Amino acid sequence: MDAGLILLVFLAFLFAWLLNRVRRFFRLGAIGYAGVMIVFVIAMLLIWGQTLR
């Protein structure tokens, strides 16, 4: 497994944990939470795609 991919998975878990705390603070609904997660996944895939070049 690529070390960069392992780092991205770790960052994803860290981001999800932080987002859960922020979601409780701002009282985001499920739609807002899903929207933020989708944007995060797309951004991480784009960053990972740049490292393959």
Residue 17 has pLDDT above 70, yes or no: yes
Distance CA 15, CA 3 (A): 18
Assessment of whether the complete model's pTM goes beyond 0.85: no
Q: What pLDDT score was predicted for residue 18? A: 83
Residue 1 has pLDDT above 80, yes or no: no
User: What pLDDT band is residue 30 in, cutting at 50, 70 and 90?
Assistant: confident
Q: What pLDDT score was predicted for residue 53? A: 67
Q: What pLDDT score was predicted for residue 25? A: 76
Decide if 37 contacts 1 (C-beta within 8 A). Answer: no
Structure tokens at 50: 């740049």
